[in-house]
Amino acid sequence: MDNSKSLEQLARDAYSDGEEAVVELVVSPALKLKEEKHRRSQNSTNSSFPSSGDLASKKKNNSRKETDRKSGGQPGHKGCTLNQVPNPDTTVKCSPESCECGHTFDGSEEFIDSIRRQVFDIPKPVVTVAEYVSEKYRCPVCGEIHAGDFPAGVTASAQYGNNIQASVVSMMNYQLLPYKRTAEMFENLFSIGISEGTLRNI
């Protein structure tokens, strides 16, 4: 195709050359555009292209604008520095046992100073089991038998509590974890072999 000619002149030439020329004029650019779109959409997951090309494509199509700001916290931003607390939950004393000369420290008069370091951590999650026992009493006056009522919601001989059920809903509906990964999480964190069927019911 001669790119120096105007679109109108190209159309007139194609018309005078016959039907095949008109088809070529209209179809050829459309095919090239379609092929280009198809080429741009290909990556390592839907073609034989190497995965290294995916990263290059992402960098090329990145719409983020470059700025002069450095990475990390910006001036004026309030940080979240971890500071010691005055009343820790537990205190572990790290005391020396003895001196090289053979003296054994007993903590009476040898102490002169100390250095405090604090470790913030989450306690290992532990599942607790609460048992509810409905006791039966017989009235000594009339002989009527009465049984204690279970709390609302306690309906099965063994069941998961409200906190576990709320965690399931949060993991699956908010964090969007699938059934299998949610079951694996409860097994790894709490040693609970909860089935996918139970997750679905919750």
129-163 pLDDT, tens digit each: 999 999 999 999 999 999 999 999 999 999 999 99
CA atoms within 13 A on the CB side of 108: 4
Q: Is residue 150, in this structure, part of any structural domain at all?
A: yes
Last residue of a domain, one of 60, 79, 95: 60
Contact 9, 16 (CB under 8 A): no
Per-residue model confidence (pLDDT) at position 44: 64
In which residue are the tokens 């109108």 written? Answer: 8
Q: Is residue 100, in this structure, part of any structural domain at all?
A: no
Q: Is residue 110, in this structure, part of any structural domain at all?
A: no
Per-residue model confidence (pLDDT) at position 77: 66
In total, how many domains does the chain have?
2
Per-residue model confidence (pLDDT) at position 107: 75
Q: Is residue 83, in this structure, part of any structural domain at all?
A: no
Per-residue model confidence (pLDDT) at position 59: 54
Q: Is residue 38, in this structure, part of any structural domain at all?
A: yes
Q: Is residue 152, in this structure, part of any structural domain at all?
A: yes
Last residue of a domain, one of 44, 60, 76: 60
**What element of type H or E holds 147?**
strand 145-147
Model confidence at 10: pLDDT above 80: no
Q: Is residue 105, in this structure, part of any structural domain at all?
A: no
* 155-173 burial code (b ≥16 CB/10 A, e <16): eeeeebeeebeebbeebbe
Nearest to 184 by CA among 195, 176, 175: 195
Per-residue model confidence (pLDDT) at position 63: 56
Nearest to 132 by CA among 146, 111, 148: 148
CB within 8 Å of 180: residues ≥ 6 apart: 196
Confidence of residue 178 (pLDDT cuts 50, 70, 90): very high
Q: Residue 39 is which amino acid?
A: R
Model confidence at 56: pLDDT above 90: no
Per-residue model confidence (pLDDT) at position 8: 73
Q: Is residue 106, in this structure, part of any structural domain at all?
A: no
Tell me what the pLDDT averaged over the chain comes to: 83
Tell me 175's DSSP state: S
Tell me 146's DSSP state: E
Domain hosting residue 179, numbered range: 136-201
In the chain, % of residues over pLDDT 90 = 47
pTM: 0.49
Whole-number Å distance between alpha carbons of 99 and 23 = 99
Of 6-20, 121-135, 142-156, 186-200, least confident by mean pLDDT is 6-20
Q: Residue 49 is which amino acid?
A: F
